[in-house]
Structures are given as structure tokens and as C-alpha cells.
Amino acid sequence: MLYAMCASQPSARAIRTRDRRIAFYRPAWPIALLLLCLCLGQTARAAHIQEPTTQVLQQLADAQQWPQIVALLERVHPRDAEMDFFYGSALAHMGRYADAERALRSGRRAAPADSRFPVELAGIAFRQKKYPQAASLLRAAVRLNPRDSYANDFLATVYFLEGNLEAALKYWNRVGKPMIESIQMEPQPRVSPALLDHAFAFSPAGTLRLRDLLTTQARIRGLGIFPQYHFDLTARNDGRFDVQFRNWERNGFGESRWAALFLFLRELPFQGVDPEYYNVRRQAINFVSMVRWDAQKRRILAHFSGPFEHGAKYRYDFVTDLRNENWVLRNSFAGPVPALASFNTRYGFIGFDLASFASGRVRWSAGAQLSHRDFRNVNAGTVLTPQMLAAGYQLKQVADASVSLWRLPERRLSIDAQAASQAARLWSQHGEAFEKLTGSLNTHWFPRAEGDDYETQQILRTGKTFGQVPFDELFMLGLERDNDLPMRAHIGTRDGRKGSAPMGRNYFLVSWETDKNLYSNGLMTLKLGPFLDSGKITDPSTSLGSYKWLWDTGVETKLRVFGSTVAFSYGKDLRSGNNAFYVTLLP
């Protein structure tokens, strides 16, 4: 028993050890109790913070109490999409754009179908003058909610500030804007006010519609007296707009002595002159002609055009074309290439054409031509056949139509298509008939949101013939002053005589080019850019055609003076390696 009692009692060492442990843990109890109280207090305070309701936040937003909204929401974590919207909007009104953008993007991720978030983000970009970014966000908002009048109006305003009038009208028209107060001319044109009024498809005290602007532009071009023009809108204090028609008008031989001399003598380096007279009797009646005395390719061309029945919707055009040309057919314009055939041709026709400018989306024209041709000093070789050299009178019916397939004003992109038909009958020893069909697809794009510093164009063209076609009705791929199918590393003349470019009955041609503005002072514009041409032309005759696809690349400089453009091009034939330098007068 004693042993048992002694054994159950702790030793002195154990007692000392226990006392030290108690002394060590004793101070920790008050600290633990203090931390527990603090946690309970924090929990109690958090329990008293209530998340503000949407109704409360909306009331504060209507009262523009932005600091209060921020104070209420900055302590709420996590926030839902609705809270992020009010929080980001309030921060934006307080000028804290970075914080506002983070909050709004968080809300947009939580509610991607809510159009309010891209609208508010666009507002932040707009305040910082980041117009392309604002436009992109507003387009996203309009896609989510096409009927949002605020977003459409806001987007139109952004495009208006960027100078993109077509895109601005597209979205303003959705909300019944813009209302026009007046139409101003700068400077005042000399053409008859009544005729010019017929050209405008919109009027003061009305809404300017995009379709009406496009129709007006087509009719202005059709008058043929405004080589340069531009429409601007000027905002008024009453919310309406004034339309300004900024124009450069051709009158008589030219608006100045220097302009008249340039327009008349621009063909002089090519042994020709261009007598022209515009806006006869202030009725947009124009006489445009060309006289060329080059011994190898003489030509007299004259156009007399004017408005049909004193209106701007239709125009008539009488044309006369007389030619005397020497041809030598070769497979190349450079190098020791033998002549395949040669001849002299005399050709002339008179024609009439009526064109419609009633719509900005569709344009058509129709007419007829009576012509006569003959061939002299013929060395047919193995190329020319009797059917190609058929002489005599010919009656031709011509028709063409062009349509605007797709316009994307936001991207400054347009795609237009054109188709043309020429059906003819040739009265010779054996009556012959043929048909020529052509088509084109033109893509035009200004890559930048504003201005014309860069311009890109791609044209796809094709043509096909049916029946027996006279030689002068064949297609040609190459650079030649009377040809409109340029391969810019294939020159169509050699020693002044035509016949060195690929010819045939059927062709396919794709041309791509980009221009960069180098200099402009209002009177003169200089552009420079690369180009790439690819095409193929075929013919039943083995001596004609291109046999293979042609590839030409190079660079072209365009100088526009007094409304006329002179193009200087350098092209390289990627198949043969030939280099071509050429000067062309563009419309």
C-alpha cells in the first residue's frame, strides 16, 4: 500500500517540469480569447453590411451620385454582373477609366449577351478619343440589340467624327436621323441650278438617307463635269445638319489657262491632242475628243454627251471613232522575235448610247453602232484566217449593266459587278454574226478608318466570244493606249505598231493594286504602290493566246492634276523576265 501510494505521486522533477509547462501556456489563453472576440466582432460588422439592391443603385445613378455608388460597391466581393455595371459606370463618370474598364469587362464576361457593357466600354474609349475601338465595341452592342437607339446614334456619331459619312448615315437612318436644314455649295457651280437640283435625290427639311446619297453621287458622276467632289455634314446647334457639296467643276476648255493647256496637250508626248469642251450652255453638255497623228496608229475619237430631257437620271452619248493602224503580230515586245503576220486596217464607226443613273445601286446603258472595216497590205502568215479579215459593214447592239453587290461602310469596303453584251452582224461576202460577253467584279477598300492615305483595289475580269469574230474584235492583254485590259509587264506595241501583246477570243484577268498617298495639296495628288496582274487568254489559233498563265508584278506611280491622272508603271514579267516601263493616261 505504501508502495502503491508512493508510486502514484509524481516525483519532484515531474512536478517541476509540469510547472514549467503551465507557466509556458498560461499567457496564450488571453491572446486566443482576444482573437476570437475580434473575429466575432468582424463577423458581426459584416453581418450589418447589406448588398445594395438594383433599385437603389438605379436611383443613385439617376441622381448622378457616382461617389456613393462606388462607396457602396467597392467593399462588395464578389460582385454580380449588375453590380459590375453600376460600379464600372460610376468609376467612368469619375474619370477612373482603367478601374472602370476592368469592372465592365468583368461584368461583360459574366453577361456576354448584355449590350450595355460594350456601350459603356465604348463610352470610355470615346472619352479617350479612341474612335476605332469605340466603333468596334458599339458594333458589338448593335449586333446584340439592333433596336438600341442610343447605341445606333452613338455609333453614327463616332463614324461622323471619323469622316465616314456612309457609315454614319447607315446607323443614323435607323433612328430617323439626320435631318437636313440646308444644302450649301462650295464653290457655287456654274451648271444650271435646275439640272443640279435634279441630280440631288435629297432635299432640305428632310432626312438624308444613305440610298439617296449614293444615288446623288451616281448622278453627279454621270454629269461628267465634276472630276472631284465631296459631301460633308456640318452640325447645327438645333440638332440638324447642313449638307455641303464641295466640288471642282469643269467649264469650257478648263477652269484656268493652265488647266486648259494641260487637258489639251496631255497626249502630246504620244503624238496627240485632246480637244475638250465642258458644260455647254450650263447644261452639262460635253464634247470630248482625241486626235492622234502617229503614223502607225492614227485615230480620231469624239464623244458628244448631255442630259436626256434636261434631267440627271439619263444621259445620251453620240460617239465617232476613226482609225488607220499598222499591225505586226509577234509573241513579245522585246528580244529577237520574228513577225507572225502583218497588215493595215482602216476602221470607223458611229454610235449612240443611252445610260441610266436613276439609282445609286444599279446602272445600265444600251446603244447601237454602225461600223465599216477593211484590211490592206495583208501578210497573213499562219495566223490570220479569211474570217478574221472579213471586211464590210457591221451593225452592233451593245448593252451593259452594273450593280453594287455589297457595301460595308463600316469597313469602307465595296464590291461591284458589271456585265456587258455586244451582239453584231457583219455584212461581207458571207454574212457573219458573233457575240461578245464580258463581266467584271471590282473590290474597293480603304483600310484605314478615315482618309484615303491607303487604297486597295482588286478587279476580276473575264470575256468570251461566240461565232466568227473579226480580228479587231479580239481581246488583248497588255499595255496599249486603246486597250482596257492591262497586263502591266506586257506592252502591246513594238516600234509603234500594235500586235506584240497576247490576243485571243477568251480571257481571264485579275489585277490587284495598293496606293499610298505621297503628296497632296488640293491641286495635285501623288500616289505610289505595288501591283500584281495575273491572266490568261486563249484562242483556237495556236499562234494566238498566251498558252500559259501570265504573272506580272511591279510598282506604279499616279499623278493626278486638273482632274486627270497620269500613271507611270514599271512591270516585270515573272515568266520571261522582261521589264516594261510605260506611261498611261487614266480616266
CATH number at residue 233: 3.10.20.310
Q: Which of 199, 214, 248 corresponds to the end of one domain?
A: 248
321 inside domain: no
Q: DSSP characters for 100-140?
A: HHHHHHHHHHH-TT-THHHHHHHHHHHHTT-HHHHHHHHHH
Encode pLDDT of 199-252 as tens digits. Answer: 999 999 999 999 999 999 999 999 999 999 999 999 999 999 999 999 999 999
In a domain, 332, yes or no: no
Written as nine digits, the cell of 369 is 453602232
* Secondary structure (3-state) at 573: strand
d(CA 583, CA 556): 10
Q: Which residue has the cell 486638273?
A: 562
Exposure string of 189-215, with b = 16+ CB inside 10 Å and e = fewer, is bbbbeebbeebbbbeeeeebbbebbbb
For the whole model, what pTM was predicted?
0.87
- pLDDT tens for 465-513 read 999 899 999 999 999 999 999 999 999 999 999 999 999 999 999 999 9
What average pLDDT does this structure show over 180-188? Answer: 95
pLDDT-derived band at 522, boundaries 50, 70, 90: confident
Of the CA atoms within 13 Å of residue 79, those in its CB half-sphere come to 26
Residues 440 and 551 in one domain: yes
Backbone angles phi, psi at 336, to 5 degrees: -80, 85
Considering the domain architecture, whether residues 239 and 353 belong to the same structural domain is answered as: no
- Same domain? For 140 and 187 the reply is no
Contact 529, 539 (CB under 8 A): no
Q: Are residues 150 and 185 in the same domain?
A: no
Has residue 352 been placed in a domain? yes
158 and 203 part of one domain: no
Strand 413-427 versus strand 241-248 pairing type:
unpaired
How many angstroms separate the CA atoms of 147 and 153, rounded?
Answer: 11
Task: Look up the CATH number of the domain holding residue 92.
Answer: 1.25.40.10
**CATH number of the structural domain spanning residue 434:** 2.40.160.50
Q: What pLDDT score was predicted for residue 37?
A: 43
Same domain, 501 and 365: yes
pLDDT-derived band at 50, boundaries 50, 70, 90:
low
293 found inside a domain: no
Weakest-pLDDT range from 125-134, 333-342, 491-500, 564-573:
333-342
Asked, for residue 59, whether it belongs to a domain, the answer is: yes
Same domain, residue pair 134 and 196: no
- Look up residue 116 and give its three cell numbers: 450595355
Residue that terminates a domain, selected from 172, 199, 215? 172
**Is residue 21 pLDDT above 50, yes or no?**
no
Give the Cα separation of 582 and 138 in Å (integer).
Answer: 47
**Inside any domain, residue 20:** no
At a CB cut-off of 8 Å and minimum separation 6, what does 421 contact? 397, 398, 399, 400, 435, 436, 437
For residue 435, tell me if it sits in a domain: yes
Mean pLDDT of 10-30: 40
In the predicted structure, residue 28 carries a pLDDT above the cut 80: no
Q: Are 479 and 464 in a shared domain?
A: yes
Q: Given a cut of 90, is residue 337 above it in pLDDT?
A: no
Same domain, 187 and 167: no
**pLDDT category, 281, cuts 50, 70, 90?**
very high
Amino acid of residue 311: G
Do 355 and 482 share a domain, yes or no? yes
**Band of pLDDT at residue 52, cut at 50, 70 and 90:** confident
Over residues 344-366, mean pLDDT: 96
Residues 356 and 478 in one domain: yes
Q: Which of 582, 585, 492, 475 is nearest to 531 (CA)?
A: 582
Among 109, 138, 172, where does a domain finish? 172
The structural domain count of the chain equals 3
Q: What's the farthest any 2 CA atoms get from each other in the chain?
A: 156
Q: For residue 397, is it within any domain?
A: yes
Other beta carbons less than 10 A from residue 166's beta carbon: 18
Q: If you write DSSP's letter for every residue of 129-169 in order, what string do you get? A: T-HHHHHHHHHHHHHH-TT-HHHHHHHHHHHHHHT-HHHHH
- Cis amide linkage into residue 187, ω under 30° from 0: yes
Together in a domain, 537 and 444: yes
119: domain range? Answer: 54-172
- Rounded percentage of the chain residues whose pLDDT exceeds 90: 81
